[in-house]
Amino acid sequence: MFCASKHIFGRLAPLRGATTLSSTSPTSTSTSSTSTSLRPSFFPSRSLTQSRLFASVKDLYYYNSPSSRKPSSAIISPDDKDFVKIVEVGPRDGLQNEKTIVPLDTKISLIEKLSTTGLRVIEAGSFVAPKWVPQMADSTSILTHLLRSPPPSPQPVTYPFLVPNLKGLESALPHKTPPPPHSGASEISIFASASEGFSLKNLNCDITTSFTRFTPVVKKALENGIKVRGYVSMVISCPYSGDTPPQKVVEVTKKLLDMGCYEVSLGDTTGVGNPYSIDVLMKALIDGGVPVEKLACHFHDTYGQAIVNCMVGLANGVRVFDSSVAGLGGCPYAKGATGNVATEDLVYFLHSVGMKTGVDLEKVSEVGAWISDAIGRKNNSKVGPALLAKRPETSTPASS
């Protein structure tokens, strides 16, 4: 049977080298019909990138025979060459922007239900200042619960927590004294910005200061055996600072990797990216020496481009994608930003091109329906409701 990912890798490697984006003059890129968010002024002329992009997409679909497009929800090894890791961010990114505080029991139920779906990474909360993000104030209780009563799951699951500073790290470290005793988080994420404006809004400091604060956090976390993931926000454009130069993303990504992050997730926080701008960014990162296997894509779906942007990430060799069940979410400091790409839609897409996630699409769709109902939100997944609507009426819903 034809292997999709082999050909994506195999054929894209020469493409990357062969295609030179030489027309980089900002003046040559501006036309009256293209808004800045579609083609940021830092970005090169469209035609060369277009041919490269179309070749990548053709690789992804043309060479993937229909026989390989089977749902793959069986438990599979992360070492499988077609494996794509999904980082479920619903309980954190998905809920952090909810105005009404979601009860702790609902958050824990969400994490427990997600744990049964085959997901291997579920971001469970964040140790940030409660006056800034009150919705995440109960994250210590969530960690304590997960450590005391690990959710039953058919596969090993990691539950990372966001940490902005040393005070946040204290909550993630093992506690020997009550209340409450716990043995610590196994993974944290630090979150930087590629734009000064968002850094000031989100972290209350500029990018340089944020790194001064991250340095001791990463050092202490690693000393305590805690893995550290990095985020870069506003990788395409920022509502406060305008378009983000790809080189700035490269610089921030490299800093995060150099300081000890094992993986960096690229946040299109406001979902303004499109296949063109994402492709240019991917090329800048890869050509800039960032190993693609250390990258993850974290795309919000504000403009409905998240799935196609994930396809561009996949075609460039990315094998880690962040998503949120039912497309929950938004960012408290990015006005108008809506949720991440829905996990259900991402899993459907990945399976359709022959990649393996280990995620049971039907089960995760049930969780999406349940949480949307539980918090009174519209389900932003397209696939979940469509799939569940096709089920025979005798099926039992997940909410029972």
Enumerate the active-site residues: 331
Q: Which among 55, 67, 54, 116 is positioned nearest to 352, based on CA atoms?
A: 67
CB of 172 to ligand HMG, least distance (A): 10
Q: What letters, b where the CB count within 10 A reaches 16 and e where it falls short, cover 143-158?
A: bbbbbeeebebebebb
71 counts as binding ligand HMG under rule CB under 6 A: no
How far apart CA 218 and CA 255 sit, in angstroms, is 12
The mark string for 198-217 relative to ligand HMG (x by CB under 6 A, - otherwise) is ----xxx-------------
- Residues 353 to 392: which contact ligand HMG by CB under 6 A? none
**Residue with token string 């993630």:** 172
Cα 256 to the center of its chain, rounded Å: 16
Tokens of 112: 């427990």
Beta bridge partners of 193: 233
CB of 331 to ligand HMG, least distance (A): 4
Choose which of 36, 332, 352, 377 interacts with ligand HMG (CB under 6 A).
Answer: 332
CB of 201 to ligand HMG, least distance (A): 9
Is 162 or 367 the residue whose CB approaches ligand HMG more closely? 162
CB of 45 to ligand HMG, least distance (A): 28
Is 202 or 244 the residue whose CB approaches ligand HMG more closely? 202
Q: Would you tell me how many other CB atoms lie within 10 Å of the CB of residue 80?
A: 13
Q: Which among 97, 137, 40, 100 is positioned nearest to 336, based on CA atoms?
A: 97
Q: Which stretch binds ligand HMG (CB under 6 A): 16-24, 48-56, 197-205, 217-225?
A: 197-205
**C-alpha triplet 136, 142, 147: angle, nearest 5°:** 150
- Residues 8 to 37: which contact ligand HMG by CB under 6 A? none
CB of 269 to ligand HMG, least distance (A): 3
Tokens of 43: 């970005």
How far apart CA 330 and CA 86 sit, in angstroms, is 18
Is 128 or 146 the residue whose CB approaches ligand HMG more closely? 128
How far apart CA 195 and CA 184 sit, in angstroms, is 32
- Residues 292 to 331: which contact ligand HMG by CB under 6 A? 298, 331
Is 5 or 126 the residue whose CB approaches ligand HMG more closely? 126
Is 87 or 367 the residue whose CB approaches ligand HMG more closely? 87
How far apart CA 265 and CA 339 sit, in angstroms, is 16
User: Which residues in this chain contact ligand HMG in the complex, by CB under 6 A?
Assistant: 93, 96, 126-129, 131-133, 162, 164-165, 167-168, 191, 202-204, 231, 233, 267, 269, 298, 331-333
